[in-house]
């Protein structure tokens, strides 16, 4: 894909962080935007920042865990723009709690937000992409989708699940020109740790020091768009430490496991 001009791009989790940065990056390339998150006022703010005319932006508030609303939301996008070219699955929530302390319903919430919501929206969008014989899913996973770490068991599990599901979809969709790019960010400078769930499902409310020193969301978004243009299947975005850990696990797994168990989150 050489250009995003006039492409219809639907972004979940578009009200802040990586999602907001992706929306603004696509806007600069002339795309038409569908902005989804729970907070409509924040979506309106992102719409204003995009600088796009009203006809080129659809603000579509949605709680992505209300799976029964996915089909209706997709129909709204089609009614407004007539097509969906790119679906960015960015909505997500992290975790900061030990397995022994974490309530089962917290794990269910983590899976609903980070995994099942993407499945529900994908199933709503996919028939339109198959009909138009084109489409691209951008799936925001994480380095946590490759490596299990302390106090993030449910988040890790959900991100691992994304890889299995979308690797399958990439293969199944090939004949219909359906593409998938899976993104594995490391430490990106967002509020993800502040909004993470603790053992009871409440907000963790603390900024991880590594997160605070992470790559700017705008740089992350730039790399994502470049990867999509080149039809990359999977990319890693982060500092040397977290990206190197993926390769250490592949070639020296015991060394990686030893390092993980010693790395207690701050």
- As annotated, the active-site residues are 155
Say if residues 43 and 63 touch (Cβ distance below 8 Å): no
The secondary structure element, H or E, covering residue 32 is strand 32-36
Residues 6+ apart with CB under 8 A from 88: 9, 10, 11, 12, 19, 22, 138, 140
Partners of residue 183 on adjacent β-strands: 140, 235
Give, in degrees to the nearest 5, the angle at Cα 141 between 135 and 147.
145
Kindly state the DSSP code that residue 236 receives in the 8-state scheme. Answer: E
Angstrom distance (rounded) from CA 154 to CA 190: 20
Residues 6+ apart with CB under 8 A from 122: 87, 89, 137, 169
Angstrom distance (rounded) from CA 127 to CA 125: 6
Angstrom distance (rounded) from CA 148 to CA 163: 14
Kindly state the DSSP code that residue 222 receives in the 8-state scheme. Answer: H
Six token digits for residue 100: 């022994």
């Amino acid at each position: 894909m050489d250009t995003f001009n006039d492409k219809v791009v639907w972004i979940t989790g578009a009200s802040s962080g990586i999602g907001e940065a992706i929306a603004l990056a696509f806007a600069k390339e002339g795309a038409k935007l569908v902005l989804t998150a729970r907070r409509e006022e924040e979506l309106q703010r992102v719409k204003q920042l995009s600088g796009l005319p009203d006809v080129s932006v659809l603000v579509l508030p949605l709680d992505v865990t209300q799976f029964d609303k996915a089909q209706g939301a997709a129909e709204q996008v089609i009614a407004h723009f007539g097509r969906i070219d790119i679906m960015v699955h960015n909505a997500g929530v992290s975790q900061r709690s030990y397995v022994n302390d974490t309530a089962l319903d917290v794990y269910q919430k983590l899976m609903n937000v980070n995994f099942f919501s993407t499945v529900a929206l994908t199933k709503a969008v996919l028939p339109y992409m198959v009909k138009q014989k084109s489409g691209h899913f951008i799936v925001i996973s994480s380095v946590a989708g490759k490596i299990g770490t302390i106090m993030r068991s449910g988040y890790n599990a959900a991100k691992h699940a994304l890889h299995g599901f979308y690797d399958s979809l990439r293969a199944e969709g090939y004949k219909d020109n359906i593409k998938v790019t899976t993104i594995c960010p490391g430490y990106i400078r967002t509020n993800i740790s502040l909004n993470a769930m603790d053992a009871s499902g409440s907000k963790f409310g603390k900024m991880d020091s590594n997160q605070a020193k992470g790559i700017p969301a705008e740089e992350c978004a730039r790399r994502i768009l470049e990867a999509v243009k080149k039809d990359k299947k999977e990319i890693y975005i982060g500092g040397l430490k977290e990206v190197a850990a993926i390769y250490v696990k592949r070639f020296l797994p015991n060394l990686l496991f030893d390092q993980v168990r010693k790395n207690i989150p701050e």
